[in-house]
């Protein structure tokens, strides 16, 4: 019996490619000392000698300069450290030779494991050494965290923005390289337009991506910050935030003609906005059954993405 279930979308090239074809770097000569615990020793004991996996001293490894994760939870790191002490390291980290210091290594993947190993007092950890450019290192650091799905939306937006600017990619190219849909990338990048205090609320998990997308519709930064602060303090749902923004828009209107919309039209606007990832306004015409659809976009890449979603091909 055939299954219609679609395979899960794969993020970019994934991390599997990191586990093959390691760089030709001599293994470190680590002299085991009975009083010094090593994660690498635990890995070798559990798995035997594995080609391409080497023991590296923790002090010679440095963080990834393109690491999208900005916060490492102390309690979860402590739990991971306890796990490493009890069971050893199951999966090696991936590193490259530091381009600024050939005597050091720079992480590509596995920063939580590296931090936890240091916290546990381990001296060495198992590592795969790869040849990787700055762009590959940035991509794979982002992909690793996206695959684990534990970056908050602002960290994702920050990581994507850095890649966009540093490597001069289009949004379409960026989406392809990290294995995300183009509308998703466009929506995340738009979060960077929010006031800094609002972005911090998202970074600290006080607000969600859904909250952020709605707050983008408030063009006055001061009002946006006030509403966002009230939302976080009151732990509003996305639905309640939408209601508050609707009230704000009605109270602010100083136009000669105040447009009143039926609940049906308002609901359609919200559904279209959620589908397209941007603000949509429906305006009824004078004649019954006529009107306009206004779809907002904020840069040319997002415009191209909207055309793609609508099935429009421009020759």
Domain that holds residue 55: 16-134
Question: Is 31 contained in some domain?
Answer: yes
The domain boundary residue, chosen from 82, 99, 134 = 134
Domain count, the chain: 2
Cα–Cα–Cα angle for 307, 311, 315, rounded to 5 degrees: 70
- Asked if residue 21 and residue 128 are part of one domain, the reply reads yes
Extract long-range pairs of 79-84: CB within 8 Å, 24+ residues apart: 80/112, 80/113, 80/116, 81/116, 81/117, 81/119, 81/120, 82/120, 83/116, 84/39, 84/42, 84/113, 84/116, 84/117, 84/120, 84/122
Report how far residue 100's alpha carbon sits from residue 106's, in angstroms, rounded to the nearest whole number. 10
Question: Is 97 contained in some domain?
Answer: yes
Active-site pick, 55, 106, 111, 139: 111
> Are the C-beta atoms of residues 178 and 142 closer than 8 Å to each other?
yes
- The question of whether 284 is a catalytic residue gets the answer no
The pLDDT profile of the chain, 315 residues, written as one tens digit per residue, is 444 544 444 444 444 444 444 444 444 433 333 234 555 444 444 444 444 688 899 999 988 887 777 677 778 788 888 888 887 777 888 898 888 888 899 988 888 888 889 988 988 889 988 888 888 887 777 777 665 556 788 888 888 888 888 778 788 888 887 777 888 888 889 999 999 999 999 988 899 989 999 998 888 889 999 999 999 998 899 899 988 888 887 775 433 334 456 777 878 888 888 778 787 888 777 667 788 888 887 777 778 778 888 888 776
- Asked if residue 21 and residue 126 are part of one domain, the reply reads yes
- Asked if residue 120 and residue 201 are part of one domain, the reply reads no
Q: What is the pTM of this model?
A: 0.51
């Amino acid at each position: 019996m055939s299954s219609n279930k679609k395979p899960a979308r794969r993020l970019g090239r994934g991390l599997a490619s990191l586990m093959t074809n390691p760089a030709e770097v001599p293994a470190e000569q680590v002299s085991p000392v009975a009083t010094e615990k090593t994660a690498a020793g635990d890995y070798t004991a559990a798995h035997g000698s594995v080609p391409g996996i080497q023991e590296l001293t923790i002090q010679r490894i440095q963080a990834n300069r393109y690491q999208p994760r900005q916060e490492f939870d102390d309690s979860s790191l402590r739990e991971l450290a306890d796990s490493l002490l009890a069971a050893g390291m199951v999966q090696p980290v991936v590193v490259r030779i530091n381009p600024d210091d050939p005597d050091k290594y720079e992480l590509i993947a596995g920063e939580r494991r590296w931090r936890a190993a240091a916290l546990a007092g381990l001296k060495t950890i198992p590592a795969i050494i790869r040849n990787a450019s700055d762009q590959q290192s940035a991509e794979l650091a982002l992909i690793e965290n996206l695959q684990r799905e534990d970056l908050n939306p602002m960290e994702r937006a920050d990581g994507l923005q850095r890649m966009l600017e540093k490597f001069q990619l289009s949004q379409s190219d960026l989406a392809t390289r990290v294995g995300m849909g183009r509308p998703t990338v466009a929506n995340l990048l738009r979060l960077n337009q929010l006031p800094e205090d609002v972005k911090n609320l998202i970074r600290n998990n006080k607000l969600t991506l859904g909250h952020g997308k709605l707050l983008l519709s408030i063009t006055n930064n001061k009002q946006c910050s006030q509403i966002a602060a009230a939302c976080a303090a009151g732990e509003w749902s996305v639905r309640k935030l939408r209601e508050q923004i609707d009230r704000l828009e009605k109270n602010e209107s100083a136009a000669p003609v105040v447009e009143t919309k039926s609940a049906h039209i308002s609901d359609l606007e919200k559904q279209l906005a959620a589908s397209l990832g941007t603000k949509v306004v429906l305006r009824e015409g004078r004649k019954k059954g006529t009107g306009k659809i206004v779809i907002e976009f904020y840069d040319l890449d997002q415009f191209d993405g909207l055309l793609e979603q609508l099935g429009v091909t421009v020759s």
